[in-house]
Amino acid sequence: MSEQPVALVTGSSTGIGAAVARRLAETGHRVVVNSARSVEAGEELAKSLPDAHYVRADIADEQQARALVEEAVAHYGRLDVLVNNAGTTRIIPHDDLAAATPEVWREILDVNLIGTWQVTVAAVPHLRATGAGSVVNITSIAGSRPAGSSIPYAVSKAGLEHLTRLLAATLGPEVRVNAVAPGLIDTEWTSALTVPREQVPLIAPLRRLGTAEDVAATVLGLVGAPYTTGTVLLADGGVHLR
């Protein structure tokens, strides 16, 4: 079995996940790229990286989540890093309570929280086997502030923040668990959020929107921080200061 580390990045065909996959590859990781729907983009990304493997799986489905981890380990023989980036949302004004139906809540929680849990549970034995496994969850500033594309989305990210702390307290010393909480990031996901995209550069101390590469750099920092666990690190350009 090769000693070269292996990283699985869920939801990594585009946007933040793709940027994280590229940065991990640049730092010597063999990368498992994943998506539930964007198969062509995921395959193209994997082909562009030095030693990457694409796996289609919907992490909201328990069997697919488990199979994703199993294929990663079967392909490379180990798993060192798990980046839980896969997520979904609905753009719903917070005061439109009726639009946030139970179906919307289930759809968002099934991916953002339960899906993350399912992949992590499947990955833990393999991460422990390395003696220095690392999990990084991608949350959101909406998990700690009354903001976000919808109330169900914000609550799912708040849950993910606390899950990060609970898992960190449980899985040490073999596995570290941290999270990155981005602010508004310039991706296809946020292209419809016209007003926030105009406001953030005016109020953020760094005077710009964040990029997927900004978040990826923060993820890489946590992957390489051997004495850090249970931390939720903001990547919001300083918006939390306002």
3-state SS class at 236: coil
Joined together, the tokens standing for residue 168 give 């960190």
Residue 179, beta-bridge partner list: 137, 232
Joined together, the tokens standing for residue 226 give 């051997």
**How far is residue 179's CA from residue 223's CA, in Å, rounded to a whole number?**
10
Residue 32, beta-bridge partner list: 8, 53
Outline where DSSP puts E strands in the chain. 6-9, 30-35, 52-56, 81-84, 133-138, 175-182, 232-235
**How far is residue 162's CA from residue 173's CA, in Å, rounded to a whole number?**
19
Instruction: Name the DSSP letter for residue 171.
Output: H
Residue with tokens 């798990």: 82
The answer to whether residue 54 is catalytic is no
**How far is residue 106's CA from residue 59's CA, in Å, rounded to a whole number?**
14
Cα of first residue to Cα of last residue in the chain, in angstroms, is 49
Q: Which of 54, 76, 153, 227 is catalytic?
A: 153
> Which residues does the annotation mark as catalytic?
153
